[in-house]
């Protein structure tokens, strides 16, 4: 029977319910069920619900050849994570390479769920009188904060969430006079290494430590937070790139609400956008609930107020400068931080008694997550998204690599670039600073055609509505590749196939003739008028 120290130094029994194991089992079970649904929809073929994992896989392939980008000989920074692409380097060039994002997401999920359960135990949910609340928080909590759903995406966000929970657990132990500095440093370092958003929790935690008398640890935490970001920026500059990755610059340009806004105007605009999203509102409510609980209960005047302020400041930083949504992955780290922090504070606010506040708090978190994220709907939305990626992007990739076998321009980078030896021109700009700058600063009619001519790219596969009058003036539309089943987080359900000059029409048409008979169910190719052979 395991024993854990409480805040006052007394011991309590975690009982026969291993909360960490239950959290892991709950999260992994949902994750596995969702993967099973995908296999049933795709006829036994695994795929991701977004094209983005393939961007990191394509980047990892080039890293394996001692370069950085998606095309050999052309430096680019399409990914915003400093560390994640390097974790994907093993097995580059093999079919098994496809599964590394899934594996690392699973690792992040397991660590995040285990740390969630560990926080519950150390906060007091393992006590006999808290057992049923502990069971509910351990089993349903990881689902309410989207752990298995975000891991399903196959990106670095689950690892980032695990690092953030390690930071929170370290802070909890520190303020309990039970160590925790090692966890704080590890959480701060890896949080920033996986996502640039990790800067806020790490630096805020560093300030909290410094201002509460633990100055050496505060400075060390600040250094651990800044080190991976500074190293990444220095590495990018050494490659001849901007210090900020193209993906980050692209997102910053998308959040601009007007012409040359001031700093405060921009922050408020982003805040309003984020609070319109259920996920953003849920994060804000959790942070506010922790603050009110601190001010209105025996927590007031205790050291736990510092933890409340750390959580609240980190939440505010994300709501003012971060993004909410797109499979709920961008806010995942701050969601798990605010939710776990709220649960950790409940037993302290009730002085260990199971009061209506404790019962209502656990129930509100679980029900709030279920409502904010429409949890049951994810079984109907996420697996079909993987089918959509497999049907659209997967078949486009097969067309380019097996049938076209030449350079191509796209605006949805990833699947087409992965394991492709030919040049891929990214017209959206994640892998092309030139395209990004033209698109975001001075686009002129037909500008995409200027780029395809400059790089001698004969074919373009694009979503027309992404460019409007930016489509090349000399491009010849040969037809449209259409997805005929609803569902999926795609840039569009119709991809237009263009020959970038009249001279390449015959080549594209010939490749299409061979490819079209192989199309999967739920997809079709419609020839443009007068183009069918």
Distance CA 460, CA 410 (A): 6
Within 10 A of 214 (CB to CB), how many other CB atoms are there?
17
Give the Å distances, CA to CA, from 332 to 118, 194, 195, 441, 523.
Answer: 19, 13, 11, 31, 33
Ramachandran region, residue 374 (left: φ > 0; alpha: ψ -120 to 50; beta: rest) = left
* Percent residues over pLDDT 70 in the chain: 95
Distance CA 327, CA 384 (A): 13
- The residues with which 409 forms a beta bridge, in sequence order, are 425, 460
In SS3 terms, 262-279 reads as CHHHHHHHHHHHHHCCHH
Distance CA 110, CA 142 (A): 11
Distance CA 349, CA 333 (A): 24
DSSP-assigned letters across all residues of 303-320: THHHHHHHHHHHHHHHHH
Give the Å distances, CA to CA, from 228 to 89, 233, 322.
Answer: 19, 9, 19
pLDDT at 3 over 60: no
For residue 463, give both structure tokens.
Answer: 């979503």
pTM to 2 decimals?
0.93
CB of 397 within 8 A of CB of 492?
Answer: no
- Using CB atoms within 10 Å of the CB of residue 440, give its burial: 0 to 12 exposed, 13 to 18 middle, 19+ buried: middle
State residue 402's pLDDT score: 97
Q: Which helix (H) or strand (E) holds 528?
A: none
State residue 5's pLDDT score: 39
For residue 30, give both structure tokens.
Answer: 């949902």
Distance CA 504, CA 411 (A): 20
Q: Average pLDDT in the 500-518 region?
A: 97
Name the average pLDDT for the chain.
92
Q: Angle 367-171-364 (CA atoms, 0-180°, nearest 5)?
A: 10
Q: Average pLDDT in the 365-370 region?
A: 94
Task: Write down the number of H helices and E strands in the chain.
Answer: 21, 8
For residue 217, give both structure tokens.
Answer: 């640890």
Residue 196 Cα to chain centre, angstroms = 11
Distance CA 480, CA 399 (A): 13
pLDDT-derived band at 489, boundaries 50, 70, 90 = confident
DSSP-assigned letters across all residues of 351-404: TT---HHHHHHHHHHHHHHHHHTTGGGHHHHHHHHHHHHHHTHHHHHHIIIIII
CB of 57 within 8 A of CB of 151?
Answer: no
pLDDT digits (tens, 9 = 90+) for 196-247: 999 999 999 999 999 999 999 999 999 999 999 999 999 999 999 999 998 7
Q: Report helix, strand or coil for 460.
A: strand
For residue 223, give both structure tokens.
Answer: 């250094």
- The residues with which 425 forms a beta bridge, in sequence order, are 409
Q: Average pLDDT in the 324-336 region?
A: 92
Q: Among 31-40, 111-120, 393-402, 497-506, whose mean pLDDT is lowest?
A: 31-40
> Taking the alpha carbons of 368, 374, 376, 382 in that order, is the dihedral positive or negative?
negative
Within 10 A of 202 (CB to CB), how many other CB atoms are there?
30
pLDDT digits (tens, 9 = 90+) for 233-285: 999 999 999 999 987 887 666 544 445 567 888 889 999 999 999 999 999 99
Ramachandran region, residue 180 (left: φ > 0; alpha: ψ -120 to 50; beta: rest) = left
The one-character DSSP state at 519 is P
Listed by start position, the domains of the chain span 3-243+256-381, 392-527
State residue 212's pLDDT score: 93
Q: Report helix, strand or coil for 138.
A: helix
For tokens 């099973």, name the residue. 36
CB of 144 within 8 A of CB of 366?
Answer: yes
Q: Rg for the chain (alpha carbons), in Å?
A: 25
Q: Average pLDDT in the 485-499 region?
A: 91
- Using CB atoms within 10 Å of the CB of residue 512, give its burial: 0 to 12 exposed, 13 to 18 middle, 19+ buried: buried
State residue 9's pLDDT score: 35
């Amino acid at each position: 029977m395991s024993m854990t120290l409480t805040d006052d130094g007394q011991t309590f029994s975690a009982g026969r319910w291993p909360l960490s194991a239950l959290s892991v089992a709950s999260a992994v079970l949902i994750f596995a069920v969702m993967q099973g649904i995908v296999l049933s929809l795709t006829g036994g073929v695994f795929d991701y619900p977004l094209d983005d994992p393939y961007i990191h896989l394509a980047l990892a392939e080039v890293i394996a050849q001692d370069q950085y980008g998606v095309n050999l000989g052309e430096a680019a920074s399409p990914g915003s994570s400093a560390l994640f692409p390097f974790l994907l380097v093993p097995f580059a060039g093999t079919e098994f390479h496809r599964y590394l994002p899934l594996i690392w997401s699973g690792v992040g999920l397991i660590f995040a769920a285990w740390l969630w359960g560990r926080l519950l135990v150390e906060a007091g949910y393992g006590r006999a009188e808290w057992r049923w609340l502990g069971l509910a928080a351990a089993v349903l909590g990881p689902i309410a904060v989207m752990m298995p759903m975000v891991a399903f995406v196959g990106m670095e966000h689950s690892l980032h969430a695990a690092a953030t929970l390690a930071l929170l657990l370290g802070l909890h132990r520190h303020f309990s006079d039970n160590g925790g500095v090692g966890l704080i440093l590890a959480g701060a370092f890896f949080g920033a290494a996986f996502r640039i958003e990790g800067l806020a929790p790490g630096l805020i935690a560093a300030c909290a430590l410094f201002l509460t008398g633990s100055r050496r640890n505060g400075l060390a935490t600040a250094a651990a937070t800044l080190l991976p970001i500074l190293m990444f920026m220095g590495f990018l500059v050494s490659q001849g790139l901007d210090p900020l990755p193209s993906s980050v610059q692209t997102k910053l340009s998308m959040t601009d609400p007007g012409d040359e806004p001031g700093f405060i105007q921009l922050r408020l605009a982003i805040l309003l956008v984020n609070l319109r999203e259920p996920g953003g509102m849920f994060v804000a409510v959790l942070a506010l609930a922790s603050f009110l609980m601190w001010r209105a209960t025996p927590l007031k005047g205790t050291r736990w107020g510092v933890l409340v302020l750390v959580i609240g400041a980190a939440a505010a930083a994300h709501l003012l400068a971060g993004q909410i949504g797109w499979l709920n992955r961008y806010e995942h780290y701050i969601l798990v931080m605010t939710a776990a922090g709220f649960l950790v504070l409940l037993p302290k606010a009730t002085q260990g008694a199971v009061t209506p506040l404790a019962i209502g708090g656990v129930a509100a978190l679980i029900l709030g997550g279920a409502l904010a994220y429409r949890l049951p709907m994810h079984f109907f939305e996420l697996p079909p998204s993987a089918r959509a990626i497999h049907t659209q992007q997967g078949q486009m990739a097969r067309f380019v690599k097996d049938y076209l076998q030449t350079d191509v321009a796209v605006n949805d980078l990833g699947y087409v670039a992965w394991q492709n030896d030919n040049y891929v021109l990214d017209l959206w700009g994640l892998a092309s600073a030139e395209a990004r700058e033209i698109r975001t600063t001075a686009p002129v009619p037909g500008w995409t055609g200027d780029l395809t001519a400059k790089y001698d790219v004969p074919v373009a596969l694009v979503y027309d509505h992404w460019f409007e009058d930016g489509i090349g003036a000399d491009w010849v539309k040969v037809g449209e590749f259409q997805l005929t089943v609803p569902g999926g987080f795609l840039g569009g359900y119709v991809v237009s196939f263009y020959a970038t000059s009249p001279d390449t029409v015959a080549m594209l048409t010939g490749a299409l003739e061979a490819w079209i008979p192989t199309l999967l169910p739920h997809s079709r190719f419609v020839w443009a008028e007068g183009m069918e052979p």
